[in-house]
Structure 1
Amino acid sequence: MKLTTVSIAAMGILMAVAASAAPTEYPLTIDNCGHEIRFDGPPENVVSIGQAATEVLYALGAEDRMAGTSLWFNEVLPRFAKADAGVERIADNMPSFEAVVNKRPGFVPTMFEWMIGPQGVVGTREQFANLGIPTYVMPPDCEGKDNLVGADGTRLAPFDIATVYKSIDQMATIMDRQDRGAELVAELKTREADAVKRAETLDLPDASAVVWFSSADLELDPYVAGRKGIPAWMLDALGLRNVIESDEEWPTVGWESIARADPSVIVIARMDRRRFPADDHEKKLEFLKSDPVTSQMTAVKEDRIVILDAEAMHASIRLIDGLETLTEAMEALPR
């Protein structure tokens, strides 16, 4: 295999960051979303709530210390299939408090604060703390965000990808996998920069988009990406304007309003989860092409619809996959 100058340089960076990673010194105390969590050693029987947290742990090579996973949107990445096969999936969606604590976890990380925050959909942090179980919320879902406003929270500040890298760094430190964490962050940063550079060449003057995640019912208003969230960051990197002006993470907006904005591109989520009919991207496509309102939108008529994995719209290691996929799709769309 012939290595380019860029790939050789990237390998050098990865080797350097790996060599500089030092083992974790315990006891370890971390401030997480206003809560102090302490570890006396590398945690065992980890139970993750959310695919983003799970795949970070797999990327860190920590599957040998995991007792369960839950809350999946897409199938596991192929490179993690072997790791995933050895860890029990205690729930495809939200697990019960009992299902989590029955695994006697030494650590419960989640991708969404509302799973273990004041709302306590699974259980509150206090409930877990009373049992001596440290919980962790990935920073993208608590920093610059109020999760008590709106169904999925409201962004007080635009999403910052640095919070994803912070999540990886902190989870790597907790699990004593700093070398793997440093390699992963360096790789993702390099790919991010490459994707953004490619996007800069697209030259999309006044192009706009809407990102449709799902709908509780196809006859109801869809859940679409707000203007300060993760998909909005992706669109901005590509030079696309999000037509949704809400600061909520995933607000419901009527199709009539979206049609009036007439976005240049429609991005729809593909997922394996089946909570709602619109979780099926084929159902989304069928709706867009048959509904009397949506079928008249320019993006539908001109087939400017991009399909993206749902997990690539979350603050996960797949976010960069999504950025790359969206860049490739934009390059291929008719103009």
Structure 2
Amino acid sequence: MKKLFLFLLLTTLTFSSDSIRVVSTSQFTTEMLLAIGAEDYLIGTSFLDDEILPELQQKYNKIPVLAAGAPTKELFYSLNPTFLTGWQSIATPKNLGTIEELKENGVEVFFTKSQKTSNIDDIYEDILYFGKRFNLEKNANQVVKNMKSEIEEVKSKNLGKKKIKIFAYDSQESAPFVIGGNGIGNTMMEIAGAENIFRKSSFSFGTGSWEKILDENPLAIIVIDYGDKSYESKIDFLKNRSPISELEAVKKDRFIRIPLSYLSSGIKVSKGIEKISEGLSEEQK
């Protein structure tokens, strides 16, 4: 009888309606939650693009990694989750189920507004939402304050300077996969003092053309570092086999290395802007 009572007590404590059990399926939402101090709510993460911020690493190491990509539905539900956030693409029949299905199974779903916009203010709103939802509003406000301060510092440094023409190379060889004009990456480049040659395109990430790059002759190239294809292999392609190998920027190694997570709609955006700005400053010397 005592064992049964203990079991019921533990079950009530662990899975009560007041208990929030969060699964985060993107690095940017994981880092948002860790930055505001919500690590005790996290029961699993996935989709790590690259390294977690060093100041968050210790917290991150204590949270189970469910999968490199999408966790299985069986694993997800075995954890008794009550809250899901991350990439919106996770809520499909092939992954964890539709939003409606998740809600029917008792899972609250929140997908950040900022992953579909080019407005940094939307990132702030997402962070503040998490702060309110997890009763960590003071922490969330401080994170936003720090980000704004870092961005304002970059803006002040670039005040009055001429924009530097660049583009951001993600991958692909037949035609370059690049950052376009309809996402947070383009906004970051603008704040950092750059002019994205693909800024007039309607996509966030999409296929550009080698011909346009040759015509525009950018001064520098952001090379996005992530995944199975190394940064070094991308540089090797651009320098030795690509149609733009004779560009001045390529021949003079004017490459700015940016990890993918610094170009995602999360807390690293301010630091990503700093990295781009610093890279451009190096090329101007």
Normalised TM-score (structure 2): 0.88
Structure 2: stretches of 5+ with no match in the other structure: 1-16
Identity %: 24
Distance apart, 1:296 and its partner CA:
1.2
The equivalent of 2:182 in structure 1 is 228
Counterpart code for 1:228: N
The equivalent of 1:210 in structure 2 is 167
1:246 pairs, out of 196, 201, 212, with 201
Residue-by-residue CA offset, 1:272-317 (whole Å, 9 max, x unaligned) = x32xx3xx11111111110251211221122221111111111110
2:130 pairs, out of 171, 174, 177, with 171
Distance apart, 1:255 and its partner CA:
2.3
Distance apart, 1:169 and its partner CA:
0.3
1:290 pairs, out of 240, 244, 262, with 240
The equivalent of 1:81 in structure 2 is 57
Structure 1: stretches of 5+ with no match in the other structure: 1-39, 145-158
Contact 1:114–1:120 under 8 Å retained in 2: no
1:113 matched to 2:88: yes
1:324 matched to 2:274: yes
Distance apart, 1:265 and its partner CA:
1.5
Contact 2:263–2:269 under 8 Å retained in 1: yes
Q: Within 5 Å, which residues of 2 pair with 1:234-313?
A: 234-244=188-198, 245-271=200-226, 273-274=227-228, 277=229, 280-313=230-263
Distance apart, 1:134 and its partner CA:
0.6
Root-mean-square deviation (Å): 2.0
Counterpart CA distance in 2 for 1:76 and 1:138 is: 19
The equivalent of 2:99 in structure 1 is 125
Q: How many residue pairs align between the two structures? A: 269
The equivalent of 2:46 in structure 1 is 70
1:195 matched to 2:195: no
Name the structure where helix makes up a greater proportion of residues. Answer: 2
Pick which of 100-109 and 237-246 moved more. 237-246
Contact 1:66–1:87 under 8 Å retained in 2: yes
Contact 1:50–1:71 under 8 Å retained in 2: yes
1:46 pairs, out of 8, 22, 25, with 22
- For the residue of structure 2 that corresponds to 1:123, the secondary structure is coil
Pick which of 252-261 and 86-95 moved more. 252-261
Distance apart, 1:119 and its partner CA:
7.6
Distance apart, 1:75 and its partner CA:
1.3
- For the residue of structure 2 that corresponds to 1:185, the secondary structure is helix
The equivalent of 2:114 in structure 1 is 140
Counterpart code for 2:134: M
- For the residue of structure 2 that corresponds to 1:296, the secondary structure is coil
The equivalent of 1:56 in structure 2 is 32
Counterpart CA distance in 1 for 2:207 and 2:95 is: 21
